[in-house]
Amino acid sequence: MAIGDEMRFDFPDNMCFGCSPHNEQGLQLTFTHVSPSGVASRYTAPDHICGAPGVIHGGVQAAILDEAIGFAVHAHQESIGDPDTSDEAAWQKVVTVEFDLRYRRPVPVGVEIGVRAEVVRVSGRDYLAVAEIVGDDDEVLTSATAKWKRLRT
């Protein structure tokens, strides 16, 4: 996968809440590979996933950022030519092990937002990554830092 390419896990058995195009109740997020270890997306949340009126539920914001970080990990793996990214089960080979979230400003439903994530450090099987939801003025609305781990296969 090259920088600029859309990343999507559209395998028939993928029912992921965050990224599956087959999960009608899911977010159906897609990401663009924007740097060797980074991804970006645009997303407009439907009204039914609000918490407070007009604001994306905090748990859904966490899911969006966790999904973005997962895609950044996969972008990193692909950039270094990791052979484990070549099969349909690649998306199952890394998992979140720690997640820290900071809500800064309300994230509105019905308005396009930006989502970006990047792997900032790799140590053995561990990946440290950051992600942000940003408004149209590039203001950070919600941010996260997470540690992901490659499973032993």
Q: What are the chain's domains? A: 6-150 (3.10.129.10)
The pLDDT of residue 132 is 98
Instruction: Report pLDDT digits (tens) over 7-60.
Output: 887 778 888 888 888 889 999 999 999 999 999 999 999 999 999 999 999 999
pTM check: above 0.75? yes
Tally the C-alpha atoms within 13 A of residue 106's C-alpha that lie toward its C-beta: 10
